[in-house]
Amino acid sequence: MKEYDTIVIGSGVAGLSAAYELKAKQQQVLVIEENLWGGTCPNRGCDPKKILIGGVEARNRIKQLLGKGFSEVPPLNWQELQSFKRTFTDPVSANRQKELSQAGIDHLTGTASFLDEETVEVLGKTFRGKHFVLATGQRPTILPIEGKEFLQTSTDFLALAELPKQLIFIGGGYVSFELATIARAAGSEVTIVHHNQRPLKEFDEELVQEAIVQMKKAGIQFAFDVDTQKITRQNEKLQLIAGKESFEADAIFCATGRQPNVESLHLERANVDFTKKGIIVNECLQTTNPQIFACGDVIEKQLPKLTPVATFEGQYVAQKVTQQQQKTINYPVIPTIVYGSPKIATVGTTKIEEDRQVETVTQEMTSWFTYHRVNEPLAKVKLCFNKENFLIGASVLSEQADELIDFLTIAINQRLTKEIVDQWIFGYPTLASDLPYLLK
């Protein structure tokens, strides 16, 4: 039986961030991965999605400038775009293993299961660790309904060789909004079905509704208050049945949430508690077994389960394991982005209806040069300031919301005011040069 200082289970950004940090502290580290090396983000998550979104963004820019330099909108070639995406995704798994080898980090492909608090089994071999880092991530859930075998997930969508003509996305979260935007730009007929009237519930409701108006103008259909009961196949078509209502499509994708990858770990043997939402951790990311840590999307938490958050947690865990960090984890404000069209982004404190010491300022930015020069149909920001006039939260709706939200995140974390920013000189005209007009 081989022994290690730390065994990391999962090779996504959380696990690898921890592994490299631990190795830098001269630890003997083993990383175990049962599927694609690199995890969800670079293989079947944010990176391939953003590549596909890049094609949508290019097409949108031309669409916005029809009659202002362009006479037609080019079609989005799905096969070519997917081929381009694969130049990024196909090498990921092999590259991650090569990088681990170059760093002198042992790694093994297989499913890890705990035998006891100090031992895991992989492919019939046993390994002992003084510490463990659990970073196995999540996977899409499938609704437990009749006909669930006909449902596909975001993983399936991102791997489509050909795009079906009619698509349905079940769920009103960011996955549905993003994939529907991609599919519609590539020429599919798209419907988003949601069980209530409030999609994207973590985002500003007014901005979400304005985004829906713009998406409807692009041809995306929405069906709210639809409680999906079963899926059936009628000839070559799929039917989504919801009471007396039914919807037809060539493919139906389930985007109703994600679940932690914990089943194969046999956590009970290691005295690690978990729920259906993830592994339970304390403020130091320790599980109920203090020698075992968890980080990334597999843990139970209220914070957004995002790639940069997982990286942050992985680095923190490594510092805790090596006793370089004594404090509890302290998260900065975390921006969250929906890559639809238009994009929606939020950061910090934005739900402040009951706090009279917080002021909300809405800026309509559509006429600003930044947006007018590319003829964006709508650009708006909501800013929340505390009584000392420091920015504490922001929500943005525009095609460039993903870039502006990062500047606003810096402003919150660094407690920037207009007086401070006025002393800086930005490149002009840029999103950054708009920052002085957004702060107080």
**pLDDT given at position 357:** 81
* Strand 278-279 to 274-275 pairing: antiparallel
45 is in an annotated binding site: no
Q: Find how far residue 146's CA is from the centre of its chain.
A: 29
Token pair recorded at residue 434: 């708009």
141-256 matches 342-437 in fold: no
Write the DSSP assignment of 153-192 as a string of letters.
-HHHHHT-SS--SEEEEE-SSHHHHHHHHHHHHTT-EEEE
pLDDT tens digit string along 211-228? 999 999 999 999 999 999
- The CA–CA distances, whole Å, from 102 to 98, 105, 135 equal 6, 8, 22
Mean pLDDT value across residues 403-419? 97
Mean pLDDT value across residues 393-415? 97
- The superfamily CATH assigns to domain 2-137+261-322 is FAD/NAD(P)-binding domain (3.50.50.60)
**pLDDT given at position 350:** 83
Residue 353 scores a pLDDT above 80: no
**pLDDT given at position 44:** 96
Q: Distance between CA 195 and CA 146 in Å, rounded?
A: 17
pLDDT tens digit string along 132-160? 999 999 999 999 999 999 999 999 999 99
393 is in an annotated binding site: no
pTM of this prediction exceeds 0.85: yes
**pLDDT given at position 406:** 98
174 is in an annotated binding site: yes
pLDDT tens digit string along 90-145? 999 999 999 999 999 999 999 999 999 999 999 999 999 999 999 999 999 999 99
175 is in an annotated binding site: yes
Are the C-beta atoms of 247 and 239 separated by less than 8 Å? yes
Are the C-beta atoms of 228 and 145 separated by less than 8 Å? yes
Residue 355 scores a pLDDT above 60: no
For domain 141-256, say whether CATH 3.50.50.60 is its number: yes
**pLDDT given at position 351:** 74
Mean pLDDT value across residues 262-270? 98
pLDDT tens digit string along 293-330? 999 999 999 999 999 999 999 999 999 999 998 899 99
Q: Distance between CA 135 and CA 312 in Å, rounded?
A: 13
Write the DSSP assignment of 234-270 as a string of letters.
ETTEEEEEETTEEEEESEEEE-S-EEE--GGG-GGGG
297 is in an annotated binding site: yes
**pLDDT given at position 325:** 87
178 is in an annotated binding site: yes
Beta bridge partners of 397: 344, 380
The overall average pLDDT reported for the chain is 96
407 is in an annotated binding site: no
396 is in an annotated binding site: no
Q: Kindly state the greatest CA–CA separation across the chain.
A: 71
187 is in an annotated binding site: no
For 160, left (φ over 0), alpha (ψ -120 to 50), or beta?
Answer: beta
Residues in the chain: 440
**% the chain with pLDDT above 70:** 99
Domain residue limits, the chain: 2-137+261-322, 141-256, 342-437
Q: Which CATH number fits domain 342-437: 3.40.50.410, 3.30.390.30, 1.10.357.10, 3.40.50.150?
A: 3.30.390.30
